[in-house]
A and B are shown apart, each in its own frame.
Chain A
């Protein structure tokens, strides 16, 4: 492995999917090579019809140290889930 190669994250949109989903990562020298490597590594079994790659170093991640402040406040607000509605019998396909 050439040390000049950098890590890329790979996102694929499947044939039926609407959004790109993270599927893994790989090494490449530049963006063009990253797309080719993503194609060769992650779409061999028709997993995708669209590829995004992004340099891993460009991803900004939430700080795990801040997890409490970021995520705890949502825990006791269960009323935000749409589970408090009575669904009329006439509605069949919800």
Chain B
């Protein structure tokens, strides 16, 4: 990014950049922790490995992004401090990421909706005026392309599978759809980030997300669910009950033994 182009954008404050980076970081961290819950419980050994690999990609993204958020914040908090020593209300992940796994079909539906959003977001962020964020996004986008391939592939198998598998993913889609509005509807911070050239415009992400998800739904023989307004806003720290339980597991060890290494 040349300085001439960068100068066209207003500069975001450190607080705004930190807050926005935490949204991305926490979404990856929480989604990674959810998928890690499948370890040892996958429907087949191969799926166990697949879900574990995706979990590790997401946790890797979270580490880079949390470290960046900590540097931008400038108060000496590193990735561990941010992951293990914040409470639920300080987490900025989208609510969809924290939703419980349920059965394999429900996990696939959640991942599909989230993977499509992460993929489009990271691909766009690779051109961000925030060069550090752009670098992380370029790496994450490659990982997310595979995540989408995996989850969309399974959505089609299950949706266009047996009566039972179709029923399960169909119900999960109806249930989880209400959390997608949060992914696509920009709040003041999202708009500010777009104005500063840091994040892509929300309308562009929505269009590409809808196109991607519509293709998968059609192939999976699932209808496009009706729009549902839902009051949860994880990215502003208003979470569902599920996040507290997830964090209890995630944070238990370093809180019980501060400074422990393993």
Contact = CB atoms under 8 A, between A and B. Distances in A.
Interface stretch (A36-44, A56-64, A70-78, A86-94): A36-44
B150 interface: yes
B149 A36 contact: yes
B230 to A, nearest CB: 32
B237 interface: no
Interface in B184-204: none
A39 B49 CA distance: 10
A36 B153 CA distance: 10
Interface in A1-39: 1-2, 5, 26-29, 32-33, 36-37, 39
B157 A26 contact: no
Interface residues of B, number: 12
B-side interface mostly = helix
Contacts of B1: none
B50 interface: yes
Interface in B83-139: none
Contacts of A26: 46
B53 A44 contact: yes
A40 B150 CA distance: 11
B50 A36 contact: yes
B44 interface: yes
Contact of B157 (A1, A29, A41): A29
Nearest to B153: A32
A33 to B, nearest CB: 7
Contacts of A37: 46, 49-50
19 contacts: A1-B43, A1-B44, A1-B45, A5-B44, A27-B44, A29-B157, A33-B153, A33-B157, A36-B50, A36-B149, A36-B150, A36-B153, A37-B46, A37-B49, A40-B50, A40-B53, A41-B46, A41-B49, A44-B53
